[in-house]
Chains A and B, each alone.
Chain A
């Protein structure tokens, strides 16, 4: 798994479950120059977290029925590995409801069919600033 130290100071660690197109917008949000400079690149395993560090999981893209168990297992695994409940962000229309593929025979109609979601971000895809704003709110950098 690839954890991103979002602000470079260990205050927020973000995992992207990269399923489809929306993950490109995640990358655009994560790689903004003002964030990347002076920050470690993404790490495979989380370091020991400080008390006030937060953890977020972003589901970016269409959840197919075939992959649904794996997505659920990843989020469960995060919670166990990290020792705290991650904020779960449903990023984009597909992750929120199945989006344009809501009627497909092979698509789960929203990741909330599998696990509880904290924030739904609309868009197809949402622009990178939508994700940045949601993460800023989660850590309290801007009031919600």
Chain B
């Protein structure tokens, strides 16, 4: 699906009329899918998929409650920490798998569009993959914790979505910049800056970050630790 989207965008061509003159605007020629910029562009776009993956993680956790297998596993002799760790590791593997998938897709897209580029150029900006991974894990661990907290799939999914799209933005209005981006969801979003600013740099004057942000990555790592720790703490003393 992403593949198709990318091909579609790559061949898109529109005519922009500005100041009375016509400027043919060919996306493909912009080099959206060229190495090394492709890493930035693709990881930005697939960032929107993270909500779907987060829902999967919620289901992953809440299933254990609806099947009551969480109870049986603890009865059988799994300690509380062992249990949470095993689930967190599965989530981590899930995140890694997704990142590898993005890596492969991006490589393929890049080769399809580019014409023979040197291998050091190909991998030059691939640090964006790491940024993607951190962004993904940040929301996955958040979804993990909410799933653990609420235990029912439907409510937990709604909770995650409402928080991400309604509550956090509302809190964000109350907090002065730039601290509003220190909130859980927002901080992970800021790791990878909007890549298209590169292409508007001539037209509009905006700040633009050419590499994944170290600051927001660090903050996101902090949140990952927070949600993981909270999950352990929550689970330790609960009745099942």
**A joins B in a complex:** no
Instruction: Show the binding face of B for A, using Cβ within 8 Å.
Output: none
